[in-house]
Chains A and B, each alone.
Chain A
Amino acid sequence: DAKTTQPPSMDCAEGRAANLPCNHSTISGNEYVYWYRQIHSQGPQYIIHGLKNNETNEMASLIITEDRKSSTLILPHATLRDTAVYYCIVRVAYRVRGSQGNLIFGKGTKLSVKP
């Protein structure tokens, strides 16, 4: 079972920031938070990941609470092409002994960006 909880759906107006929440209250110290998205009929696309600190790249920002029990993915200026299912995943670091490195996807949040 997935270790994260996400709202099933969200709407966002085009050009506005999209803030996607994720709860991972049972996260352990050696688990990363990953975000992927899947546009209809395509393979999942990696967005961003983090361990403790907030992270930013060209696609998004990831805000992780100090206790690491929740996080928020921020798309600063959502476009229609950002409409997709967004998955928040926690995963133990591959370098940890016995880890396969695989990802366990839940049902994600279906983000609809509207004009």
Chain B
Amino acid sequence: SQTIHQWPATLVQPVGSPLSLECTVEGTSNPNLYWYRQAAGRGLQLLFYSVGIGQISSEVPQNLSASRPQDRQFILSSKKLLLSDSGFYLCAWMREETQYFGPGTRLLVL
């Protein structure tokens, strides 16, 4: 069966510090992968998606970036965090038209 992992589960970072969030999928190959952000009390916003290794599409301009160094690994990064980057970050993969979400990373930027 397929599983999706995200880490860390929770992160507190100062403004201006770098960020690296990791997402890995097991039990499948060449999945579409997605990064979403959910701000407090709001819906999910698509940040990036990838259809294969090294292929990244960005949905919104921001100081975040994404990379896909391996088939089942998706990384969300930032060189300098802003207060507005706080939120709940969710990774998802897609199989047969349906997306399945990971447990999420809760990021608090202070």
Interface residues of A (CB under 8 A from B): 2, 32, 34, 36, 41-46, 49, 93-95, 100-108
A45 / chain B contacts, CB cutoff of 8 Å: 101
Cβ of A43 and Cβ of B49 under 8 Å apart? no
Interface residues of B (CB under 8 A from A): 32, 34, 43-44, 46, 49, 57, 59, 90, 92, 94, 97-104, 106
Q: How far is the CB of B1 from chain A (nearest CB, A)?
A: 14
Q: How far is the CB of B17 from chain A (nearest CB, A)?
A: 23
Other-chain residue from A34, A44, A95, A106 in contact with B90 (beta carbon distance below 8 A) = A44
Q: How far is the CB of B52 from chain A (nearest CB, A)?
A: 14
Is chain B's binding surface mostly helix, strand, loop or mixed? Answer: strand
Q: For the complex, what is the distance from the CA of A30 to the CA of B34, rounded to whole Å?
A: 22
Q: How far is the CB of B98 from chain A (nearest CB, A)?
A: 6
Cβ of A101 and Cβ of B99 under 8 Å apart? yes
Smallest Cβ-Cβ distance to A41: which chain B residue: B106
Cβ of A94 and Cβ of B43 under 8 Å apart? no
Smallest Cβ-Cβ distance to B42: which chain A residue: A107
Smallest Cβ-Cβ distance to A92: which chain B residue: B97
Other-chain residue from A34, A44, A94, A101 in contact with B44 (beta carbon distance below 8 A) = A44
Q: How far is the CB of A107 from chain B (nearest CB, A)?
A: 6
Cβ of B43 and Cβ of A107 under 8 Å apart? yes
Smallest Cβ-Cβ distance to A93: which chain B residue: B97
Q: How far is the CB of A95 from chain B (nearest CB, A)?
A: 8
Cβ of B98 and Cβ of A2 under 8 Å apart? no
Q: How far is the CB of A31 from chain B (nearest CB, A)?
A: 11
Contacts A102-B49, A103-B44, A105-B43 given; does A32 touch B97 at CB 8 Å? yes
Q: How far is the CB of B14 from chain A (nearest CB, A)?
A: 23
A105 / chain B contacts, CB cutoff of 8 Å: 43-44
8 pairs, A vs B, C-beta closer than 8 Å = A34-B98, A43-B90, A43-B102, A93-B97, A94-B94, A94-B97, A101-B32, A102-B99
A36 / chain B contacts, CB cutoff of 8 Å: 101
Q: For the complex, what is the distance from the CA of A42 to the CA of B100, rounded to whole Å?
A: 12
Cβ of A44 and Cβ of B43 under 8 Å apart? no
Other A-B pairs beyond A100-B46, A103-B46, 14, CB < 8 Å: A34-B98, A43-B90, A43-B92, A43-B102, A43-B103, A45-B101, A49-B97, A101-B49, A101-B94, A102-B59, A105-B43, A106-B43, A107-B43, A108-B43
